[in-house]
Amino acid sequence: MTDVPPVEAPQTGSVRARSVVLVNTGYGKGKSTAAFGLVMRAAARGWNIAVVQFLKSGKWHVGEEDTGRRLGVDWWTIGEGFTWDSKDLSEDEAVAQQAWAHARAVIAAGDHRLVVLDEITYPMNWGWIDPTEVVDAISSRPEHVNVVATGRDAPAVLVGVADTVTEMVKVKHVFDTGVKALRGIDY
Amino acid sequence: MTDVPPVEAPQTGSVRARSVVLVNTGYGKGKSTAAFGLVMRAAARGWNIAVVQFLKSGKWHVGEEDTGRRLGVDWWTIGEGFTWDSKDLSEDEAVAQQAWAHARAVIAAGDHRLVVLDEITYPMNWGWIDPTEVVDAISSRPEHVNVVATGRDAPAVLVGVADTVTEMVKVKHVFDTGVKALRGIDY
């Protein structure tokens, strides 16, 4: 394969987008990590940034959350302020829907130029969040709001509304050899 | 495809690695961005972090560099302090070799628990840096030093020495539609 320079932006682009929708999917490492890298980049530009986590991550992402808060990111951990009074939904579903209600409001408000929907594909695929609602919220967002969504098995409708979709493919992974997760690297 | 939770660390791991070597390669977006996400995570743990850039990136990565410096990262931009007095090498080669000499010294010194070799695959593939030297430096590193290398077409010897290799595959990319790079997202 020919080596080519890594400049991933064309010098020839002629259309100026006001914002983009990125999806990081696939079974490899780096989906959320790349989203947090974008947070670093956007923070350098002084943007208002919101992160909404759609899964309880336990110790996972605690590091990003700490650093994100240091950078002024509005970080919304799933289950935050959660009160569960429904008998019609499982607690997991209710929590996911609450996270989505929060995310939808954040996107629509337009106070943040970058909104990260971390691991949103899982509740979408599990039927806890209506994919059509997600796509509608993204499509009708204020034009300066960039959205990044992460998670395995991105639903086709999400891929459809995205400008850029990257699949992270595992070539090899240290965990497969029985090595434990490493603090500072994996969480 | 079955949806599975995104916990990418096994509960079953039995081996405790002192450090790991990660490679982000492929033609998709997110290779460097995921590396910078790792910088965010490691910064949250209070680690000393070094980033060495192997390509002149122009405006690219300026955002990460700013935020990285805010987080206390030792950031080495290629060409930094460069003096070129060789008649045997092209300037590009000389600059790449200087970057490598710096990176090798940083890895060996062990003062940083995370060393990012950003876009090192290009000078390796272009014959400007000897891949064997890179592999030797990584293999003989102090055991607490984690190394992340990024770039397209990771050489086989680099993949061989890595614990975890992820290929970022482009599913679709907004640049293909003629859209210009967006400040805060792409750089």
pLDDT digits (tens, 9 = 90+) for B140-178: 999 999 999 999 999 999 999 999 999 999 888 877 778
- In chain A, residues with a C-beta closer than 8 Å to the C-beta of B180 are 9-10, 13-17
Dist CA A15 CA A5 (whole Å): 22
Contacts of B155 (CB under 8 A, 6+ apart): B121, B124, B125, B131
The Cα-based distances of B176 to A165, B93, B173, B182 in angstroms read: 12, 31, 6, 14
* Residue A55 sits at the chain B interface (C-beta within 8 Å): yes
Determine, for residues B180 and A9 on separate chains, whether the beta-carbon distance falls below 8 Å.
Answer: yes
**Which tokens sit at B60?**
């690219």
Residues A76-109 pLDDT 10s: 987 776 666 666 778 888 888 999 999 999 999 9
**Which tokens sit at B17?**
């690695």
Dist CA B31 CA B150 (whole Å): 6
Q: Is the pTM of this model over 0.95?
A: no
The pLDDT of residue B1: 37
pLDDT in single tens digits along all 187 residues of chain A: 334 444 444 445 767 778 999 999 999 888 998 999 899 889 988 999 999 999 876 555 677 888 888 889 999 987 776 666 666 778 888 888 999 999 999 999 999 999 999 999 999 999 999 999 999 999 999 999 999 999 999 999 999 999 999 999 988 887 777 878 888 888 7
Find the mean pLDDT for residues B64-86. Answer: 80
The alpha-carbon radius of gyration of chain B (Å, integer) is 17
Contacts of A162 (CB under 8 A, 6+ apart): A21, A22, A23, A149, A154, B172
Distance from CA of A148 to the nearest CA of B (A): 10
**Quick one: pLDDT band at residue B123, thresholds 50, 70, 90?**
very high
129-158 in B: which are within 8 Å (CB) of A? 146, 151-153
User: Dihedrals φ, ψ of A36, to 5°?
Assistant: -70, -30
- In chain A, residues with a C-beta closer than 8 Å to the C-beta of B163 are 172-174, 177, 179
Q: How many CB atoms lie within 10 A of CB A104?
A: 19
Distance from CA of B139 to the nearest CA of A (A): 15
Distance from CA of A83 to the nearest CA of B (A): 24
Of A33, A55, A63, the CB nearest to B44: A63
Determine, for residues A33 and B55 on separate chains, whether the beta-carbon distance falls below 8 Å.
Answer: no
Question: Which residues of chain B form beta strands (DSSP E)?
Answer: 21-25, 49-53, 74-76, 114-118, 146-150, 164-172
Residue of chain A with shortest Cα separation from B37:
A37
Residue of A1, A19, A62, A67 to mutate, testing the B interface (most B Cβ within 10 Å of its Cβ):
A67
Contact B171, A159 (CB under 8 A): yes
- Is the complex ipTM more than 0.95? no
* Residue B123 sits at the chain A interface (C-beta within 8 Å): no
CA angle A107, A187, A70 (to 5 degrees): 55
82-101 in A: which are within 8 Å (CB) of B? none
Dist CA A187 CA B165 (whole Å): 17
The Cα-based distances of A31 to A26, A38, B131, B164 in angstroms read: 8, 11, 28, 14
The pLDDT of residue A129: 95
- In chain B, residues with a C-beta closer than 8 Å to the C-beta of A16 are 179-180
Dist CA A144 CA A180 (whole Å): 41
154-183 in B: which are within 8 Å (CB) of A? 159, 162-175, 177-183
- In chain A, residues with a C-beta closer than 8 Å to the C-beta of B5 are 55, 122
